[in-house]
């Protein structure tokens, strides 16, 4: 994709009900996002932080599946959990804790290589390197 080319990969819409619930479109699906009750939401969907954690888990799983398939390795199942912790006194303050379960007749060398590959998934690299964000106001149409 060219640098000046724009593609909407996700968007959110606040229907104006006054709460924290929003509609999110990500790829071909649409769902609600919200905050937990203790944060002022109604807990009707994943929080924005949950969505980032889910992106890391999904990307890790896909990356491992593709790599094992290319190598012809007997990876039967992959399960990835990601938890997020926040410590305002640490730099950076956010910590993602990822746990990977690999099932299949893999030897120790293959398992260790898959762990290395997990650390190379595109979302892992994105989160580690940081990003640039450009923000603008769209014309309101009213």
Predicted confidence at residue 10, as pLDDT, reads 82
Is residue 17 located within the same domain as residue 83?
no
pLDDT at 2: 52
Alpha carbon distances (Å) from 37 to 52, 82, 88, 114? 19, 21, 22, 38
**What stretches of 44-92 adopt beta strand conformation (E)?**
75-86
Across the chain, which distance is largest between two alpha carbons, in Å?
62
Number of domains forming the structure of the chain: 2
Residue 22 CB burial class (10 angstroms; 0-12, 13-18, ≥19): buried
Average pLDDT across each block of 10 residues of the chain; the chain has 142 residues. List them in order.
59 82 91 93 93 97 98 98 95 95 98 98 95 88 60
pLDDT value of position 4: 52
What pLDDT score was predicted for residue 142? 57
**pTM attached to this predicted model:** 0.87
Do residues 72 and 123 share a domain? Answer: yes
Q: Is residue 137 part of a domain?
A: no
Where residue 88 sits, what CATH number does that domain have?
A: 3.30.300.20
Tell which residue, 51, 48, 41, has the closest CA to residue 21.
41
pLDDT of the residue at 1: 44
């Amino acid at each position: 994709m060219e640098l000046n080319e724009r593609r909407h990969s996700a968007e959110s819409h606040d229907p104006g009900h006054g709460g924290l619930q929003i509609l999110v479109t990500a790829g071909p699906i649409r769902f609600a996002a919200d905050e937990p009750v203790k944060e002022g939401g109604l807990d009707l969907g994943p929080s924005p932080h949950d969505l980032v954690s889910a992106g890391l888990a999904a990307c890790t799983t896909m990356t491992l599946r593709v790599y094992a398939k290319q190598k012809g390795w007997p990876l039967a199942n992959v399960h990835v959990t990601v938890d997020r912790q926040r410590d305002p006194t640490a730099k950076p303050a956010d910590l993602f804790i990822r746990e990977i379960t690999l099932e299949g007749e893999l030897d120790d060398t293959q398992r260790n290589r898959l762990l290395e590959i997990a650390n190379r998934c595109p979302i892992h690299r994105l989160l580690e390197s940081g990003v640039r964000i450009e923000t603008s106001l769209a014309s309101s149409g009213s």
